[in-house]
Amino acid sequence: MRYYSTRNKKAGVTFAEAALTGLAPDGGLFVPESIPPYSRAVQTSLGNMSFRDIAFETVKNFAEQEIPDAALGDIVEAAYPFAAPLVPVGDRLVLELFHGPTAAFKDFGARFMARAFAYLRRGETRPLHILVATSGDTGGAVADGFYGVEGISVTVLYPKGRVTPLQERQIAGLGGNISALAVEGSFDDCQRLVKGAFGNAELKKRLALSSANSINITRLIPQAVYYAAAAGKAFAGKSDAPEEASPVSSAFALSDSAKPAAKQPVTFSVPSGNFGNLVAGLYALEMGAPIRDFIAATNRNKTIPDYLATGYYEARFSETTISNAMDVGAPSNVERLIAQWSLAETRRMVRGVSVSDEDTRATIAAVHTAAGYFLDPHTAVGWRGADTLHVTHNHAGGALAVLGTAHPAKFAEIVEPLAGPAPVPRSLAKTKERTPRAAVIPAELSALMDVLH
C-alpha cells in the first residue's frame, strides 16, 4: 500500500513514512492509493467478531507487511482494553465512544497511534517531537496516549479560554514528556501554527517532527474500526446494554423500537468539526461495512454542509459555540474528502446539517427528560441533526446510530443546568485532581518557534 499527498499523486510513500512525517512535504494530507476492502469472510462476520479482531483486520489492510501480524496484534490488544457499546436510547442507537481513558472518541486513534509509532521507530536514536493542535478532546487523548512513551515528546496547542476546565486538565495536567501551549486565538490559529511549523525548513532540520491530529493518517484509520464494528452489530440485529461509563441517570428499559432490524445497513449521524471522523466512516463504508449513509452534523461552523449544498468550498474563521471541539471553520480533512471522492459521490454518502446552540441545549434537556440519558453538546448536535433531517430509526428500513463522541461529564458547565449532574466515570474523576500547567503564546509562528527546541 502506497500513500500519496492530496496535492500530488505522483510520489508515493510507505505507511510508516506517512505515519511518521504526518504532513506531506507539499503541505497536503496523505491518502491511501486505494481503500482496501474487507475479505468476504470478514464482511459476513463483523456482527460476531470482537472489537479487537475487527481492529486487527481493519488496520492490517492499510499497514500490510510494515507491521507484522504478531506486532499488530500486540498493538491492538494494548490500545483497546475498552470497546464501543451500541446502546438503544429512545427511538435510536447511540454509539458510545467515551469508554476510554479520556472519555472521548479521540482515544481510539491516539492510543493506536502512540503504540504504532513506538513500533515503527524501534531502533531509532533521534527523539521524535509530536505537534498537535486541539479544539478540545484531541489534545487530551494524544497527551494520555503518548504519556511516558520513550523517545517521543509532545507539544499540544489549544485556544486559550476556549476549552473546558476538565479538557484543560487533560491537555496540560500530565507533565513529563507532554507540554501544553495556550494560544491566544482560535483552533484555526493553532492548526495554522502547526502546519507552519511543518513547513519550516529550519525547524525540520532541528527536530524530527510528526503530527497527531487527524491530518495524520495513522490517527484516522483506527477510527474506521468502530464504524465497522457498530455497523456489523446493527446489521446482525444486535445492540448492547449500558456499561459502567454509560451516562444514564437511572436504569431504563431497552426500547424494542430502537433495536436494529437485522439485514439492514445503518445510518450514522456524526458530530463533525475537522471531519477526520467522518472520513474514517467513509473508509469503513468503502471497505464493505454495512453502512447506508452519513449525516454530517455541525454547529454554526457549517463550512461542509454549505459545500454539500452549493458545491463550493469556502474556508472561514471559526465561531465559538458550546460544542467547542467542533469549532472549526477550515476543516483540514476537506482535502481528503475532495481528493478521494467527487462532489456527486460525497452527496450520495453524506448529508450535511447545521445545529444552533439553542437547539443543542434543547436537545440535551429533551433527551434526558424522555430517556433518562445524558448527551454532551457534541452528541446533542448529532442527535438534533438527525431530527432536523427527519431521519428516524426505521429510515429506509435500517437503524439510525448517533455517535456519542464525548462523555457529558466533561461538559458539566453546560449539561448540568439542563439535565442535572451527569454520573462521572472513574477516568474523569482522576483527571479532576490534576493541576494544568501551560505556557501562553500569541498566535504567531515565531512564538511557537521560540518555544520548540
Residues taking part in catalysis:
106
Taking only Cα atoms into account, the Rg of the chain, rounded to an integer number of angstroms, comes to: 20
Rounded Cα gap, residues 149 and 139, in angstroms: 16
Question: In this structure, is the dihedral angle defined by the CA atoms of residues 441, 207, 113 and 425, taken in order, positive or negative?
Answer: negative
DSSP string, 381-439: HHHHHHHHTT--TTGGGS-EEEEE-B-GGGGHHHHHHHH-PPPPPHHHHHHTT-----E
* Kind of pairing between the strands at 86-89 and 92-96: antiparallel
The separation between the first and the last C-alpha atoms of the chain, rounded to the nearest angstrom, is 34
245 φ, ψ to 5°?
Answer: -90, 0
Q: Decide if 102 contacts 141 (C-beta within 8 A).
A: yes
Alpha-helix runs per DSSP H in 1-50? 15-21, 40-43
Per the listing, cell 504526518 goes with 22
The C-alpha cell at 387 is: 431530527
The C-alpha cell of 437 is what?
500547567
DSSP for 168-221 reads: HHHHHS--TTEEEEEEES-HHHHHHHHHHHHT-HHHHHHSEEEE-STTSHHHHT
349 neighbors 293 (Cβ within 8 angstroms):
yes
Q: Which residues contact 218 (CB under 8 A, 6 or more apart)?
A: 15, 18, 19, 109, 112, 113, 116, 117
